[in-house]
Amino acid sequence: MRTYSATLLTVAPNVSVFPRPALPEVAVVGRSNSGKSTLINTLMGVRRLARVSQRPGKTRAIVFFDVEKRFLLADLPGYGYAAAPKKEQQAWAGLVDGYLGGDRPIVGVITLFDIRRRPDEMDFLLIEMLSQCQRTWQAVWTKADKLKRRQITNRSKELDRLLKTSRPGIAFSSKTRLGREALLEWMEDDIS
x/- mask, ligand GTP, residues 122-151, rule CB under 6 A, reads: --------------------xx-xx-----
Q: What share of the chain is helix, strand, coil (3-state, %, to 5)?
A: 35, 20, 40
Of 108 and 179, which CB lies nearer to ligand GTP in the complex structure? Answer: 179
Q: Determine the interface stretch with ligand GTP among 8-16, 49-57, 126-134, 163-171 (rule: CB under 6 A).
A: 49-57
Residue 191: φ, ψ to 5°: -70, -40
CB of 69 to ligand GTP, least distance (A): 24
Residue 13: φ, ψ to 5°: -80, -15
111 binds ligand GTP, rule: CB under 6 A: no
Alpha carbon distance 33, 12 (integer Å): 19
88 binds ligand GTP, rule: CB under 6 A: no
89 binds ligand GTP, rule: CB under 6 A: no
Which one among 33, 34, 41, 59 touches Mg ion, defined by CB under 5 A?
59
Closest CA to 177 of 51, 49, 43, 34: 43
CB of 33 to Mg ion, least distance (A): 8
Closest CA to 33 of 120, 137, 143: 143
Report which secondary-structure segment, H or E, holds 36: helix 36-44
Could you list the residues that contact ligand GTP (CB under 6 A)?
A: 30, 32-38, 52-53, 56-59, 77-78, 142-143, 145-146, 173-175
